[in-house]
Amino acid sequence: MLDTLASVLSPPHRAGLPFIAAAALAGLVLGLFSTTLLWLGIAAALFCAYFFRDPARVTPTRAGLVVAPADGRVVSVAEAAPPAELGLGPEPRWRVAIFLSVLDVHVNRSPVDGTVTRIAYQPGRFLNAADDKASEDNERNGLVLAMADGRTLAVVQIAGLIARRIVCEVREGEALAAGQRFGLIRFGSRTDLYLPPGVAPLVAEGQRMVGGETVVADLHSPEPRRFGAVR
């Protein structure tokens, strides 16, 4: 209970401060004309503060672990070729697609220790992010991370039906630690993780992810892909 309360009351990400301030200011101005509008403005500001919350996470640091890049629900675990703009070739890799509802934390985190070797933005549509076609058709921003052993993986931030703004706060050549924040997507979205070739995911469709904490794969393990059942 205390952990849940601490998460809800976490300070907001700085990218959300303009939205919180705008909602609060609008409420104060409109409140001069209507008490109802005042309370609506306050409610909007509180929702923005909740949406942009940025709680601390405890990231497992054992070498070889790949952690979830986002909170949310796994909507797809499938082999797919990474987006062409990332330059990773046409060979399929395991892709774990995570859907973020408006109630999820929207801060994106690095899944591994690695160096950003490419950042590629691709304009597109704003389909429902839970739809599998969102990976190909929606507006997106992809990062390629190179690890110390030379292997690469990719994280793709995908805009959703409501989300219209992808925020990426890192640059090519920057070194990231596993669990480190690198951006966010505003108001409903999806985050796809493309694992290195030959690495199988240890999560199943429908499973809930905690960004920076949930282990998605183990680079050192020969364990095959896991399956899950709702019980």
The answer to whether residues 121 and 198 belong to one domain is: yes
The answer to whether residues 84 and 196 belong to one domain is: yes
39 CB-side CA count, 13 A: 3
| Residue 228 included in any domain | no
pLDDT at 195: 98
pLDDT tens by residue, the chain, 231 residues: 545 555 666 787 788 788 889 888 988 888 888 888 889 988 988 988 888 889 999 999 999 999 999 999 999 999 999 999 999 999 999 999 999 988 899 999 999 999 999 999 988 777 666 677 767 778 899 999 999 999 999 999 998 776 567 889 999 999 999 999 999 987 768 999 999 999 999 999 999 999 999 999 999 988 899 888 888
The answer to whether residues 81 and 156 belong to one domain is: yes
Helix axes 35-51, 17-30, angle to 10 degrees: 170
The answer to whether residues 122 and 170 belong to one domain is: yes
pLDDT at 133: 72
* Separation CA 216–CA 231 (nearest Å): 21
Select which of 76, 110, 135, 189 is catalytic.
189
For the chain, what is the domain count? 2
* Separation CA 35–CA 27 (nearest Å): 9
Tokens of 150: 């030379």
The answer to whether residues 31 and 118 belong to one domain is: no
| Residue 223 included in any domain | no
* Separation CA 223–CA 35 (nearest Å): 60
pLDDT at 50: 86
| Residue 28 included in any domain | yes
| Residue 227 included in any domain | no
| Residue 229 included in any domain | no
| Residue 203 included in any domain | yes
The answer to whether residues 72 and 29 belong to one domain is: no
pLDDT at 7: 60
The answer to whether residues 39 and 69 belong to one domain is: no
The answer to whether residues 90 and 197 belong to one domain is: yes
Burial class of residue 89, CB neighbours in 10 A (0-12, 13-18, 19+):
exposed
Full DSSP string of 71-100: SEEEEEEEEEPPPGGG---SS-EEEEEEEE
Active site residue 189: yes
Note the Cα 66 to chain centre separation in Å: 14
CA angle centred on 196, ends 193 and 200, rounded to 5° = 80
| Residue 7 included in any domain | yes
The answer to whether residues 18 and 96 belong to one domain is: no
The answer to whether residues 115 and 163 belong to one domain is: yes
Q: What is the DSSP letter of 12?
A: B
Q: Which structural domain range is residue 157 located in?
A: 65-218
| Residue 224 included in any domain | no
pLDDT at 123: 86
pLDDT at 153: 97
CATH number at residue 112: 2.70.70.10
The answer to whether residues 23 and 73 belong to one domain is: no
The answer to whether residues 93 and 13 belong to one domain is: no
